[in-house]
């Protein structure tokens, strides 16, 4: 195989650092912004509603998939592992998102929940895809010091693009127009990336989230009793950390099917506690069961109210790729 680094400019090749392949590299994370813009210095990608997955293909060609908090999730997406072993270069670290689409062609995080909870190809009818958008290590070199647009060019050249592996396309300059299109199509939003930026192993203003709807990861801290024919629970009590305090953010009672109500209730019962874990907020007490703040869920909502509650929240699914202690309010 030809030297993959040949696709890079002279400046980028100098920025690529020859090194042994690391066991772990922290992923780069985007910051939320409400200021949408267009610029020739930025590229714009579709924000996919799936699970962030870092792929490691060792020197022997064996692949493993890792969540952003260092959990091996290879068993959940075996078809992706097989595809990487067949079509990605040995000795690489790639960054992307595993997604499934609904009938309208929109990526849907809820459709992944069965895979994320049970592992394996549990639903033979569920087609998943691994959208790759960056690379951190390839051909014996750490390439995180190379510019964003150079890394994407390298990624395109490095992989043999066969399903379920997909290259994440981007647009140049047209950030506002693309964002309007994304919202019309029902997408979650866009990720804006500074074209000349290196890959950093932290949250950075060089990657920005343009969201069509508000999304927030929140800690599940308890539940209310169900009413009528409802099974499991009525609503979940949610919170986030601020200056070391666990702050009450309100309840979410929609977005659940019966299987989720039943399974999540069983998990919560195993971590039930007698006292409230909250440090701040007007927390309800009637018909409430409190839980040790361990589980993290993703919630869509219209806005934050003046008293710091979620307005019109909808539960989207459990997140296994973020520690509860890392959950903070966005925006």
Measuring CA to CA, which residue among 256, 258, 220 is closest to residue 240? 220
H-assigned helices in 124-257: 148-158, 175-184
Bridge partners, 53 (sequence order): 96
Token pair for residue 135?
């690379």
Phi, psi of 173 (to 5 degrees): 70, -35
286 is catalytic: no
- Count, residues in the chain: 331
First to last CA, the chain: 46
Q: Are 293 and 311 in contact (CB under 8 A)?
A: no
Measuring CA to CA, which residue among 249, 271, 131, 141 is closest to residue 191? 131
What Å distances lie between residue 203 and 173, 200, 235, 317, CA to CA? 23, 8, 31, 23
SS (H, E, C) 281-325: CCCCCCCEEEECCCCEEEEEECEECCCCCEECCEEEEEECCCCHH
Task: Give the separation between CA 273 and CA 268, rounded to whole angstroms.
Answer: 10
User: Between vectors from CA 161 to CA 71 and to CA 90, what angle results, nearest 5°?
Assistant: 55
Catalytic residue among 18, 31, 47, 316: 47
Task: Give the separation between CA 196 and CA 191, rounded to whole angstroms.
Answer: 15
Catalytic residues, which ones?
Answer: 47
């Amino acid at each position: 195989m030809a030297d993959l680094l040949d696709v890079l400019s002279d400046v980028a090749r100098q920025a690529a650092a020859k090194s042994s392949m690391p066991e772990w590299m922290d992923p780069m994370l985007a910051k939320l912004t409400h200021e949408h813009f267009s610029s020739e210095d930025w590229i714009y990608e579709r924000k996919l509603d799936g699970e962030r997955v870092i792929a490691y293909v060792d020197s022997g060609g064996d692949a493993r998939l890792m969540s952003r908090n260092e959990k091996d999730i290879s068993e959940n997406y075996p078809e992706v592992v097989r595809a990487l072993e067949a079509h990605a270069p040995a000795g690489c670290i790639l960054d992307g998102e595993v997604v499934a689409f609904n009938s309208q062609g929109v990526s849907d995080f809820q459709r992944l929940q069965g895979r994320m909870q049970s592992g394996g190809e549990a639903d033979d009818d569920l087609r998943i895809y691994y959208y790759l958008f960056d690379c951190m290590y390839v051909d014996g070199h750490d390439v995180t010091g190379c510019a964003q647009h150079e890394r994407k060019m390298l990624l395109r050249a490095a992989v043999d693009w066969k399903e379920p592996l997909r290259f994440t396309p981007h647009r140049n300059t047209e950030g506002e127009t693309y964002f309007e299109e994304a919202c019309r199509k029902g997408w979650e939003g866009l990720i804006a990336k500074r074209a000349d930026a290196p890959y950093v192993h932290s949250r950075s203003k060089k990657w920005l989230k343009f969201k069509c709807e508000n999304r927030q990861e929140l800690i599940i801290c308890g539940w209310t009793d169900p009413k009528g024919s409802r099974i499991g629970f009525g609503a979940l009590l949610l919170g986030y950390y601020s200056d070391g305090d666990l702050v009450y953010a309100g309840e979410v009672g929609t977005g659940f099917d019966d299987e989720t109500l039943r399974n999540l209730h069983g998990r919560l019962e195993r971590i039930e506690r007698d006292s409230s874990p909250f440090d701040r907020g007007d927390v309800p007490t009637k018909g409430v069961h409190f839980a040790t703040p361990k589980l993290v869920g993703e919630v869509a909502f219209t806005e934050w109210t003046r008293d710091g509650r979620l307005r019109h929240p909808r539960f989207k699914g459990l997140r296994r790729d973020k520690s509860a202690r890392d959950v903070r309010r966005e925006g």
